[in-house]
């Protein structure tokens, strides 16, 4: 069907659901935070394409130059997320979304496409095994096992910013960098803030609110990054149980 998929635009973003978060009719503050973030990004070439259903099936990508990640390169597309879930899985929709992105990048004369991966798949990252079926290869790495995967059309490759490969800060307290690119983030931040306050745990929650800040972060980043005792821990969005395990493990 010609209208099976649609892209979010300034005209429809207020009325379209963000399919990565829809579970029920209950209001979810993170959706509106994400929607506001997207309004600005769409004007910069950010693409959010989804199946025209109330289900989880979408791809989200942006020109690397305006992508809020500490990755540098010229004329690349950066994929933030490609996700199918529930009854949208196993039907070839992920393939169609990836092929749309590849065709879009080629039509725009881009040098290639890249995305964040890891030697061991992370829960909050798109499947690198799926990406590698399309020819994505490792373009850069960090010492703790994160990878920048790239599908190059012309032989050039992007790389992590030098700051991102540092994976270390001077502050030893629990420190979390986050942006509103993901609608789950707002709730996670509130949960962790409340937990740390109740437990008297020093915690710095740092809102990444500009492109310049995102490009110079001291860790790999998709929309979230956690440090503890000056060491980078993960890009996974952790709940309070996982935070407690992290703190206890480091004791």
190-236, pLDDT tens digit by residue? Answer: 999 999 999 999 999 999 999 999 999 999 999 999 999 999 999 99
Q: Does the model's pTM come out above 0.85?
A: yes
Q: Does domain 5-160 bear CATH number 3.90.700.10?
A: no
Q: What is the pLDDT of residue 118?
A: 85
Helices H / strands E in the chain, number of each:
6, 13
Of 140, 139, 136, 209, the closest CA to residue 178 belongs to 209
Q: Dihedral through CA 52, CA 55, CA 34, CA 48, nearest 10?
A: -40
Between 3.40.50, 3.40.30, 1.10.10, 3.30.420, what CATH number should domain 174-249 receive? 3.40.30
Q: What is the pLDDT of residue 51?
A: 87
Q: What is the pLDDT of residue 99?
A: 96
- In whole angstroms, what is the distance from residue 73 CA to residue 67 CA? 11
- Angle between helical axes of 240-249 and 185-199 (0-180°, round to 10): 50
Domain ranges within the chain, ordered by starting residue? 5-160, 174-249
Of 44, 87, 68, 64, the closest CA to residue 181 belongs to 68
Q: Using 50 as the pLDDT threshold, list the residues of the chain that sit under it.
A: 1-2
Return the half-sphere exposure (C-beta side, CA atoms, 13 A cut-off) of residue 171: 13
Q: What is the pLDDT of residue 22?
A: 57
- In whole angstroms, what is the distance from residue 15 CA to residue 199 CA? 40
Strands ordered across the beta sheet of 231-234: 203-207, 174-178, 224-228, 231-234
């Amino acid at each position: 069907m010609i209208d099976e998929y649609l892209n979010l635009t300034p005209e429809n973003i207020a009325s379209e659901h963000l399919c990565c978060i829809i579970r029920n009719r209950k209001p979810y503050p993170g959706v509106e935070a994400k929607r506001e973030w997207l309004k600005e990004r769409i004007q910069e070439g950010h693409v959010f394409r989804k199946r025209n259903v109330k289900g989880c099936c979408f791809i989200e990508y942006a020109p690397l130059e305006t992508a809020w990640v500490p990755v540098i390169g010229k004329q690349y597309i950066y994929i933030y997320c490609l996700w199918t879930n529930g009854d949208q899985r196993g039907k070839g929709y992920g393939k169609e979304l990836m092929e749309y992105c590849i065709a879009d990048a080629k039509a725009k004369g881009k040098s290639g496409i890249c995305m964040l991966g890891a030697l061991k798949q992370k829960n909050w990252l798109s499947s690198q095994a799926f990406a590698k079926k399309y020819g994505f290869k490792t373009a850069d790495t960090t010492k703790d096992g994160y990878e920048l995967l790239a599908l190059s059309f012309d032989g050039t490759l992007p790389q992590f910013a030098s700051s991102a490969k540092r994976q270390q800060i001077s502050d030893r307290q629990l420190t979390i960098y986050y942006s509103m690119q993901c609608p789950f983030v707002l709730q996670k931040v509130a949960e962790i803030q409340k937990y740390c306050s109740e437990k008297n745990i020093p915690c710095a929650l740092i809102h990444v609110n500009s492109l310049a800040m995102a490009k110079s972060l001291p860790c790999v980043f998709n929309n979230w990054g956690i440090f503890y005792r000056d060491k980078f821990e993960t890009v996974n969005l952790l709940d309070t149980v996982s935070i407690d395990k992290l703190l206890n493990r480091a004791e």
